[in-house]
Chains A and B, each alone.
Chain A
Amino acid sequence: METTLAVGKSIPKKESWDKVTGAAKYNTDFNEPGLLHAWLVTSLYSHAIIKSIDKTKALEIPGVLSVVTGDSMPRLTGPVLEDRPPLAIGRVRYFGEPIAIVVADSLTRAKEAAGLVYVEYQPLPTVNSVKEALEEKSLLHEQLATYRHQKANEIFSLPGTNIANHIKIRKGNMTRGWAESEVVVDSVVKLPQSVHAAMEPRNARAEIKPDGKVIIHTSTQGPYDVKKDLSYYFNLEESKIVVLVPLVGGGFGGKTTSQLEILTLLASKAVHGRPVKLVESREQDFTSSPGHLGLEARVKLGATREGLLKAIEITCFVNTGAYTDSGTKMTRAMAADCTGPYNIEHVHGDAYCVYTNHTYVTAFRSFGRLSHTFAIERAMDKLAFALGIDPLELRLKNAIKPGHFTPTAVRLNSSNIGNLSACLERLKKLINWNEGIRIVTAHNKVRAKGISCLWKTSSSPPNATAGAIITFNRDGTLNLNVGAVEIGMGIKTALAQILSEKLQMDINKINVVMEVNTETSPKHWKTVASMTGFMVGNAVLDAAEDVIKQLCRTAAVVLRCPPEVLQVGGGRVFMKADPDIFVEFKNIVCGYEYPDGSSIGGEIIGRGNFIMHHLLPMDPETGRGRLGPAWAVGAQAVEVELDMLDYNYKILKAATVIDAGKVLNPKNARGVTMGGMCMGLGYGCREANLYDSGGVRINPQFRTYHLIRFGENPEYLVDFVETPQVDAPYGMRGIGEHGIIGMPAALANALSAAAQVNLDFTPLTPEAIWQAKKEVMS
């Protein structure tokens, strides 16, 4: 497909000027008279029986209208496995778990009163690690067997244990695989839980109108899921629920499932439907709302002496915290991609989703691949070392290609897998790989490089859909309305680019509705999984086709020719054979008026939709199935400089090459990729949720939970390979998450090479490297 006008152009985000002038509105920026404020009372224990809750003192504060507790909603919730009470009922399972909501006429009162809600606890033993969970130090969910699954046969719980899901991958024949393996390495890694840390803390607002209509204003990536969930949990007709989402201040997966929406609705119910706003403090966002999973994994990897991978046995234990939310699905997703982007015939994989008394987890940029990739890529480096083969060559040799089969037995072709080898070759040049992995520079300093490959498919439900509606203004400009949320990835602009290209029309003449309103915007599954461009993009193309058809039909009458000889472009419909014969959009989009005033045509409204196709659930015994339509593959590298005396290090360079299919907006793609890289490096070098021996979170603030700051970022080297995905808009692949995936692994590989010690964990602080070094020396 020729692309010239908008696709492939660095068009600034449509909402740019709103964002640089402070005019852009996020959910908490709205205020109205009569709005009530809520504040959460949260658990001070990681595991305890709630003996009593005394609200008397709190209710005595003037202006306090209600203190809502778990008895107001005696049911469990969860997007996959229903295991979580929105407000604790009789027991808390993690530090920070919401216990009560105080509703008052001012935030000050609500907060003051929250301090006066007395909760009496009787502590229970804390399951403070995956190990303790597997040893069954304590059971978190005795009733696991009775919990409702939203879908049958999707996940497999082991009642009587702390295991919420067990996914198996069985491919090939392990006996043969090991027999063919001349060299085998065994590698164990351990990664902590972390937080999304979107700069906008999670928040929501709810109101129930006198006619029973529920209005939810929220900062979510999944407005239609919120609507579905509330309808289901509160037994309401979907037509009685409206979810509105303005610009969202960062999501990264943390705003995909319903939590505060349920709580604010409960709060509003308690005050006769009056509007209630709940904004989490940063501390609550970090401890009460879900975070990013932790992982402990073991990888056994076998290869021939020439370095051809033959067999892999991988066991992953996901620390899902106190409840599963998306933890079970991420467990499944990492199992599905469990070999990494390498061709391995014999695969034995087990992934377990394990309950602990830590904060529960939800989707996080890359849906588990970040952690899982760390396990694979550390093993690959160890294998390369054992074989005496260059780590990049080893990856090239085994890179997955068209014709190969994935762990879930999907046969690959160039459209659905892209070109990993090309990414590796490009990366090799970018990072100047041939210069050598480890170079001693002056003053006890060592410069070293590490690499990682990555791949990811999406894991949407097989029936996920997206829609698009195009309407026109009288001047011929148009409005695009979709259900995708603008969380910062520039999705609304990308969709406008797709539309602009398709209609060959100036992008400035396309207005995109920024907010999502579930009452008027066509449904989109949710803005996750790097799938929005693919799904909504296809819906937009479909809507554009519809518009073109209608435009040509009216224009054909006006221009007195069959519609087939007409073409659309530049805001006109014209004759292919003679573009000078045309009619402008503005003269036909609201009907065409003849000089005598009589009219034809009527208003043009375009509709388009898209539904996922050919996705298949995974077989419980072998894992065979197809979770997503295609993969995006890539290769990444990190270059560090380590001081061998004090183990301080600096991340000099970070490189990423992704097969993007087609880069829609180069500057934006680079930006989103660098953002992912920065986040991945942050996780690699310093981010971790820390718990004390009682499971209490001890770093719930940016003061103690450090992100990478300005100037600490490395020099970024970013490039793209373009192997089109044929069923995607202009061949593009979703790459929004991918920048993060291989960064911690590449960092660990670089630092392991530099320090000459295996670093199989994060965060890689100078102290941790010093400790690892000390252990091997003693």
Chain B
Amino acid sequence: MIPFNFEYYKPATAREAVDLFHTLQTRDKNPMYYGGGTEIISFSRLYQLYPKAVIDIKGIPECNVLEFQNDRLVIGAAKTLTQLQESNLFPLLSWCAGRVADHTIRNKITLGGNICSRLPYREAVLALLVADCEVVIQRKGETRTEPLESIFNQSLHLDTGDLLLQVTVNKSHTCLPFFSTKRTANGDVNYPQDRIGYPVLSTAFMKNSGRIHAAFSGLCPFPFRSHELEEVLSDQEMATELKLAKAVSYLPAPILTDIDGTAAYREFVLRNTLARAVEQLEGVNCIC
């Protein structure tokens, strides 16, 4: 039960969606793009969000694409996490997205919604960060493509009214070797224990031409990829112990303490995970 009302629009094109957004904005409707709506509904219920209008993007054709186009995998922002998982065109993304929430909710959560979520986890982003993907953004009058990393700093930096249309990934990156983990307060999801819950630590590692890419969620109050940390992990010469000690010093913010885990425990989990990642990815190359 949402204790207030809002207007609902479901435009058929991206351009209309953006125009509508700006029109509604000038009418003080505080509009929001509406993907799966799971976050908008659950926050509104608790008086934490008050949109007076929502713009459902599920009717926009570009947002519903999921296929290889030339040498890139194109994923529409309205694709649900389950659809990503079931298609399995990008296994690391299936892996990361497939651990968000639970299966039924993933039938509703969209990739765009997860990337633009207010919550600090946004686990699907991890796969996208390490795969050097690009994002396609619809703004008033133009469609722009940018590297995700250039506009993802703690969160996705969009201008008001910008619509995330698609994410694209270099085809060759979709099948690079990877390693990915998620640990919740109740255990490791790879371990047959609790799969459901916010992460104590969620990770994605990918190996590209001998270099390890790494992104993390749950560790700091936002998901991130760290090039300094990757440098250390990829260093063939350095002993693992030293790697771990150095890596921990390259985090972009102090480690989080919350109900899922203390900072000290998160660091312990991080060290274990990094050691495993290095070991797993050693000597592994393309999985295609």
Contacts and interface: CB of A to CB of B under 8 A. Distances in A.
Q: Do A and B come from one complex?
A: yes
Interface of A: 107-108, 111-112, 114-115, 283, 643, 645-646, 648-650, 685-686, 690, 698-699, 703-704, 706, 709, 711-712, 765-767, 770-771
Given A111-B1, A706-B185, 16 more contacts: A107-B1, A108-B2, A114-B3, A649-B193, A650-B187, A650-B192, A650-B193, A699-B259, A704-B198, A706-B194, A706-B197, A709-B194, A765-B185, A765-B186, A766-B187, A771-B265
A283 B47 CA distance: 13
A645 to B, nearest CB: 7
A767 B261 contact: yes
B183 to A, nearest CB: 8
A767 B258 CA distance: 12
A649 B1 contact: no
Contacts of B261: 767
A108 B262 contact: no
Nearest to B265: A767
Given A111-B1, A115-B47, A646 B194 contact: no
Nearest to B46: A283
A72 B187 CA distance: 49
B269 interface: yes
B185 A686 contact: yes
B191 A650 contact: yes
A45 B4 CA distance: 26
Nearest to A37: B1
B196 interface: yes
Interface in B171-218: 183, 185-188, 191-198, 200
Given A108-B3, A765-B185, A767-B185, A712 B194 contact: yes
Contacts of B268: 770
A699 B47 CA distance: 17
A111 B3 contact: yes
B249 interface: no
Can you list the 9 inter-chain pairs with the closest CB atoms, starting with the nearest? Answer: A111-B3, A112-B3, A767-B265, A648-B187, A648-B188, A648-B191, A686-B186, A646-B272, A767-B261
8 contacts: A112-B4, A115-B3, A649-B193, A650-B192, A650-B193, A706-B194, A767-B262, A770-B268
B259 A649 contact: no
Nearest to B266: A767
Nearest to A115: B47
Given A111-B3, A645-B272, A712 B193 contact: yes
Contacts of B187: 648-650, 766
A704 B183 CA distance: 14
Contact of A646 (B186, B188, B196): B188
A712 B184 CA distance: 14
Nearest to B42: A703
B259 A690 contact: yes
Q: Max chain A CB contacts within 10 Å: which of B47, B193, B268? A: B193
Contacts of B192: 650, 711-712
B109 to A, nearest CB: 14
Interface size class of B (residues with CB under 8 A): 20 to 34
A709 B1 contact: no
Interface in B158-172: none
A277 to B, nearest CB: 13
Contacts, number: 64
Given A107-B1, A699-B259, A685 B272 contact: no
Contacts of B265: 767, 770-771
A646 B1 contact: no
B194 A686 contact: yes
A475 B185 CA distance: 60
A698 B259 contact: yes
Contact of A648 (B1, B47, B193): B193
A550 to B, nearest CB: 53
Interface in B264-282: 265, 268-269, 272
A709 B102 CA distance: 11
B269 A706 contact: no
B1 A706 contact: no
Contacts of A645: 272
A706 B2 CA distance: 25
A111 B1 CA distance: 9
A598 B197 CA distance: 74
A283 B194 CA distance: 22
A704 B3 contact: no
A686 B261 CA distance: 13
A767 B47 CA distance: 33
B277 to A, nearest CB: 14
Interface in B116-143: none
B103 to A, nearest CB: 11
Nearest to A767: B265
A704 to B, nearest CB: 6
Contacts of A767: 185, 200, 261-262, 265
A698 B258 CA distance: 10
Q: Max chain A CB contacts within 10 Å: which of B192, B194, B262? A: B194
A132 to B, nearest CB: 21
Q: Max chain B CB contacts within 10 Å: which of A643, A648, A686, A770? A: A648
A2 to B, nearest CB: 46
Contacts of A711: 192
A157 to B, nearest CB: 34
A44 to B, nearest CB: 12
Q: Max chain A CB contacts within 10 Å: which of B46, B47, B186, B198? A: B186
Given A685-B186, A765-B186, A771-B265, A643 B191 contact: yes
Contacts of B195: 709
B196 A706 contact: yes
B186 A108 contact: no
Contacts of A686: 185-186, 194
A199 to B, nearest CB: 16
Contacts of A698: 259
A686 B128 CA distance: 32
A704 B121 CA distance: 14
Contacts of A112: 3-4
Contacts of A704: 198, 259
Interface string B38-81: 00000000110000000000000000000000000000000000
Nearest to A112: B3
B235 to A, nearest CB: 24
A130 to B, nearest CB: 21
A685 B1 CA distance: 33
Nearest to A645: B272
B269 A646 contact: yes
Contacts of A115: 3, 47
B196 A709 contact: yes
Nearest to B272: A646
Nearest to B187: A648
A58 to B, nearest CB: 12
Interface string B1-38: 11110000000000000000000000000000000000
Nearest to A705: B259
A112 B3 CA distance: 5
A649 B259 CA distance: 19
Contacts of A646: 188, 269, 272
Nearest to B102: A709
A771 B269 CA distance: 12
A649 B269 CA distance: 14
B215 to A, nearest CB: 21
B262 to A, nearest CB: 7
A107 B2 CA distance: 10
A699 B46 CA distance: 14
A115 B3 CA distance: 9
A107 B46 CA distance: 14
A723 B3 CA distance: 57
Nearest to B200: A767
A698 B193 CA distance: 23
